[in-house]
A and B are shown apart, each in its own frame.
Chain A
């Protein structure tokens, strides 16, 4: 009886050791570390043999077919935007008390909607002589102080958009616009806070080119001639801008 019990226990122990040896956590326990990793069996020479295939299925993982076609990144062409307008202008600036003189400037605008735009301008002119200076032969300003330089930032509004027709076959878009803003004027050795407002008309011979005719007034408080007063400096200019 005792011998039979021993045989039974030993049989159970042997059976357990055989089944637990497949568990990864117990591999070290039973010294299976040295066993080489399973290598995939070579492809069967006779692929048509079902018995070979079933034998291979038991030993090798299923093969994933790698497509030989490269995946293409489809790039949607970018739409070119033309909201920014940059250009220059030349015109006449009437500097109060100092006469009217040629003015040159550059301008840039960002069109936010078809109606509204932001615009920045920078221009320079050189003032002449006051009547007092001419008659008395006394110079009130140095040569450098006669440079009249300004910049401004404005908000503009396009109104009365339309088309201009050149004969039967050509039409150009056009628009009136008004603008107002603030800026700075450097003249007579001092910089002054300047308000500006004006109106203009532009014609676009092509989508990307515009011809401007504009009139603007720049107003600032000046005490250059000893009395504090509001100076009004009217400017008319012809400009050429491109959109990009």
Chain B
């Protein structure tokens, strides 16, 4: 009985180690020596034969045929395969539809100006629906009078998310840590809260890439007589997933 239960449990226990198997529906599936369009084709898998999908690197899948030969197949070629139940294998390489509706995105701003200081920043966003996202951005600004870091948290509303060029508006709050540079009298570093409104443009490039440019107007709540107003311009690359 124990032996029988062991035999029955065997396949289930091994299932965790098993790879996805797909079957070729095109006349053949090409296997390249490396994950790139320039690498030569060294093996083909015939129609109706199955291959194990071992891993993925960008738009390439490492597959193993029934003889144990391993190679790389492009996502485009893998579209011509089916699962065991006959449904088509599909891997989302990113398109305008995915740009319209996705769950997460992240990016880096390679040009930034924060009140006249140069700025480096990154951001990440999670989407509630195609129009609305919660976003966090972290930046370091480096100027002649002061350096500092900012952390912003806010909401983004995208108009016409289905368009290749989509405008958006932003609203949020944040924290600014300012480190004035030493002069005759060395002032203290200070951390202050801020609020911002902003607007920008997103332009879909290809696959999962898009460009993003934005303007934010920050109001920094100081303990001096007047609050401080800082304009911020940023431009960078982003990708969604």
Binding site for B on A (CB under 8 A): 76-83, 110-114, 116, 118, 153, 155, 158, 161-163, 171, 173, 181-184, 190-193, 207, 243
Can you report 17 residue pairs joining A to B where beta carbons are below 8 Å apart? A77-B18, A79-B55, A81-B57, A83-B57, A111-B58, A112-B239, A113-B58, A114-B57, A116-B209, A155-B237, A161-B38, A171-B33, A173-B33, A173-B36, A191-B147, A193-B117, A193-B119
Q: Using known A-B contacts A76-B83, A79-B20, A153-B120, determine if residue A161 contacts B57 with beta carbons closer than 8 Å.
A: no
Cβ–Cβ contact A79 & B122, under 8 A: no
Q: Using known A-B contacts A77-B20, A161-B36, A191-B147, determine if residue A114 contacts B142 with beta carbons closer than 8 Å.
A: no
Majority secondary structure, A binding face: strand
Q: How large is the interface on B (under 10, 10 to 19, 20 to 34, 35 or more residues)?
A: 35 or more
A116 proximity list for chain B (CB < 8 A): 209
Majority secondary structure, B binding face: strand
B53 at interface, CB cutoff 8 A: yes
B12 to chain A, nearest CB (A): 10
Cβ–Cβ contact B35 & A114, under 8 A: yes
Q: Using known A-B contacts A77-B19, A184-B120, A193-B120, determine if residue A82 contacts B56 with beta carbons closer than 8 Å.
A: yes
Cβ–Cβ contact B35 & A173, under 8 A: yes
Q: How far is the CA of A76 from the CA of B35 in the complex (A)?
A: 23
CB < 8 Å neighbour of A79 from B61, B208, B239:
B61
Cβ–Cβ contact A111 & B142, under 8 A: no
Q: Using known A-B contacts A82-B57, A111-B57, A114-B60, determine if residue A153 contacts B110 with beta carbons closer than 8 Å.
A: yes
- Complex: chain B residue closest to A185, CB-CB: B142
B28-69 residues at the A interface, CB under 8 angstroms: 33-39, 53-62
Cβ–Cβ contact A113 & B59, under 8 A: yes
Q: How far is the CA of A237 from the CA of B147 in the complex (A)?
A: 29
- Complex: chain A residue closest to B108, CB-CB: A153
- Complex: chain A residue closest to B61, CB-CB: A79
Q: How far is the CA of A183 from the CA of B57 in the complex (A)?
A: 28
Cβ–Cβ contact B35 & A182, under 8 A: no
- Complex: chain B residue closest to A76, CB-CB: B20
Q: Using known A-B contacts A80-B55, A81-B57, determine if residue A114 contacts B37 with beta carbons closer than 8 Å.
A: yes
Q: How far is the CA of A193 from the CA of B34 in the complex (A)?
A: 38
B106 to chain A, nearest CB (A): 9
A82 proximity list for chain B (CB < 8 A): 55-57
Which 5 pairs, one residue from A and one from B, show the smallest C-beta to C-beta distance? A193-B118, A193-B142, A173-B34, A77-B20, A80-B55
Q: How far is the CA of A82 from the CA of B56 in the complex (A)?
A: 6
Q: Using known A-B contacts A112-B208, A161-B39, A193-B142, determine if residue A79 contacts B120 with beta carbons closer than 8 Å.
A: no
Among B57, B208, B209, B237, the one with the most A-chain Cβ atoms within 10 Å of its Cβ is B57
Instruction: Supply 16 further A-B pairs (C-beta < 8 A) apart from A76-B20, A111-B58, A112-B208.
Output: A80-B55, A82-B57, A83-B56, A111-B57, A113-B58, A114-B35, A114-B58, A114-B60, A118-B237, A153-B122, A155-B237, A171-B33, A173-B33, A182-B111, A192-B142, A193-B117
Among B34, B55, B119, B208, the one with the most A-chain Cβ atoms within 10 Å of its Cβ is B34
Q: Using known A-B contacts A83-B58, A153-B120, A207-B57, determine if residue A190 contacts B181 with beta carbons closer than 8 Å.
A: yes
Q: Using known A-B contacts A80-B56, A112-B207, A155-B237, determine if residue A184 contacts B142 with beta carbons closer than 8 Å.
A: yes
Q: How far is the CA of A136 from the CA of B55 in the complex (A)?
A: 61
B55 proximity list for chain A (CB < 8 A): 79-82, 207
Q: How far is the CA of A111 from the CA of B140 in the complex (A)?
A: 24
- Complex: chain B residue closest to A153, CB-CB: B108
B60 proximity list for chain A (CB < 8 A): 114
B207 proximity list for chain A (CB < 8 A): 112-113
Q: How far is the CA of A182 from the CA of B236 in the complex (A)?
A: 11
Q: How far is the CA of A153 from the CA of B37 in the complex (A)?
A: 27
- Complex: chain A residue closest to B91, CB-CB: A79
A190 to chain B, nearest CB (A): 7
Q: How far is the CA of A184 from the CA of B120 in the complex (A)?
A: 8
Q: How far is the CA of A116 from the CA of B207 in the complex (A)?
A: 11
Cβ–Cβ contact A184 & B140, under 8 A: yes
Q: How far is the CA of A155 from the CA of B57 in the complex (A)?
A: 18
Cβ–Cβ contact A79 & B53, under 8 A: yes
Q: How far is the CA of A110 from the CA of B36 in the complex (A)?
A: 16
Q: How far is the CA of A207 from the CA of B70 in the complex (A)?
A: 12
A161 proximity list for chain B (CB < 8 A): 34, 36, 38-39
Q: How far is the CA of A193 from the CA of B117 in the complex (A)?
A: 9
B108 proximity list for chain A (CB < 8 A): 118, 153
